[in-house]
Amino acid sequence: MGLGKGAEHEMEIGMVGLGRMGANMARRLVRGGHQVVGFDPSHEARAAAAKDGITAAASLEELCHKLQPPRAVWLMVPAGDPTRQTIDKLLGLLDRSDILVDGGNSHYKDSLAMAELCAKSGVEFVDAGTSGGIWGLEEGYCLMVGGSTEAFSRLEPALSALAPKGGLLHTGPPGSGHYVKMVHNGIEYGLLEAYGEGFELLKRGPFDLQLGEVAELWRHASVVRSWLLDLLARALEKDPQLEHLRGYVDDSGEGRWTAVEAIERGVAAPVITLSLQQRFLSRQEDTLSNRVIAALRNEFGGHKVEPR
């Protein structure tokens, strides 16, 4: 059944990209009672998804054929050229009034351009900033959704299945979802840097402190407690000095975009900007502060780490 048919809270949706995020989002949708048709270039990814009740499609053409119009197709593919190329191909397969959702980390200016391109074909474009990482399957995904009111309303059953209570917001027109997600990730850079620097100072101080015990302590009633601190305590429990990985901290683009946006808007954002610069520095030396950030990114998002 397509978007306009069936039970009030049941939808059929296509998921393009069955990697770390897309596969779990598809699984959560199925758990929520929705029908999902999934495509990924990897046969192994398609086979794994099929075991969890997701209807596998071997191509974008097959995915669109298996979805009844009006369709909803959700993209979870890398930002930039892969997203643009996938959208270009889908626009040749979708019909007017279908909905195309970009749930990846695209630059909001790219999303504005994609919305304009989709509009020429009569396809509704929605940009869904998605946060939750590898924990989203169980905990839900925080969704920052840009698009028309009509498109948001039509997608709301699926969006509500993906998000936890309070974790869904229609941020405004197309582009706004990815703008909010960009700033969200810029803030994340600053938070990670603060934890990294603080635990570096604890290690180098005059006392023989157990870093894991301090992290666990701060989780309880401290003003610096957070989900990130929970994850840090978990990482330190597994490896008290985080000696299994290098303090090499990559950046996937959003921090750079946030810093550039702050410059263009004349907004002072020294913490976010310096946290980005520290990531550049991390590729030149190996410190505990950088190992803290690397461990946290691996814990919440399954991001790649480099072993020592």
Cα–Cα distances in Å, from 124 out to 28, 105, 196, 243, 245? 24, 19, 42, 48, 44
User: Does 306 fall in a domain?
Assistant: no
What pLDDT score was predicted for residue 4?
42
Q: Would the pLDDT of 111 be above 60?
A: yes
The pLDDT of residue 303 is: 87
Q: Are 232 and 292 in contact (CB under 8 A)?
A: yes
Residue 1 located in a structural domain: no
Instruction: Name the percent of the chain lying above pLDDT 90.
Output: 87
Provide the 10 A C-beta neighbour count for residue 202: 15
Strands 142-146, 124-131: pairing is antiparallel
Domain with residue 69: its CATH number is 3.40.50.720
Residue-level pLDDT at 308: 81
pLDDT over 70 at 193, yes or no:
yes
Structure confidence at residue 3 as a pLDDT band (50, 70, 90): low
- What's the pLDDT at 304? 86
The end-to-end CA distance of the chain, in Å, is 51
User: Looking at the domain assignment, is residue 7 inside a domain?
Assistant: no
Taking the C-alpha atoms of residue 195 and residue 200, their distance in angstroms, rounded to an integer, is: 9
Please check whether residue 236 lies inside any domain of the structure.
Answer: yes
Kindly list the distances between the CA atom of residue 134 and the CA atoms of 24, 175, 191, 297, in Å, as whole numbers in the listed order. 8, 25, 19, 10
- pTM confidence score: 0.90
56-90: per-residue pLDDT in tens? 999 999 999 999 999 999 999 999 999 999 999 99
Residues 31, 99, single domain; the answer is yes
* CB 292, CB 236: distance < 8 Å: no
Q: What is the pLDDT of residue 7?
A: 38
Provide the annotated active-site residues: 181, 188
Predicted local confidence at residue 1, as pLDDT: 40
Q: Of the candidates 119, 143, 173, which is a domain's last residue?
A: 173
Q: Packing angle between helix 22-31 and helix 43-50, nearest 10 degrees?
A: 20
Total structural domains in the chain? 2
Average pLDDT over residues 188-194: 96
Q: Based on the domain organization, do 89 and 227 belong to the same domain? A: no
Same domain, 124 and 213: no
Residues 270 and 293 in one domain: yes
**How many angstroms separate the CA atoms of 185 and 144, rounded?**
12
224 touches 288 (CB < 8 A): no
Range of the domain at 102: 12-173
Residues 95, 151: one domain?
yes
Is residue 165 scored above 80 in pLDDT? yes
Task: Tell me the C-alpha distance between 251 and 189, whole Å.
Answer: 9
Q: Which residue has the higher pLDDT, 270 or 251?
A: 270
Residue 3: inside a domain: no
In a domain, 2, yes or no: no
Share of the chain above pLDDT 70, in %: 97
218-257 pLDDT tens trace: 999 999 999 999 999 999 999 999 988 888 999 888 999 9
Mean pLDDT of all residues belonging to the chain:
94
When pLDDT is averaged across residues 276-297 and rounded to a whole number, the result is: 88
CATH of residue 260: 1.10.1040.10
8 Å CB contact between 275 and 126: no
Helix runs in the chain, H state only: 22-31, 43-50, 60-66, 81-91, 108-120, 136-139, 149-162, 176-204, 211-218, 227-238, 254-265, 270-282, 288-301
Question: Which of these three, 173, 196, 227, is where a domain ends?
Answer: 173
Instruction: Mean pLDDT check: name the lowest of 38-52, 80-94, 157-171, 281-295.
Output: 281-295
Is 307 within a domain?
A: no
Q: Kind of pairing, strands 72-75 and 142-146? A: unpaired
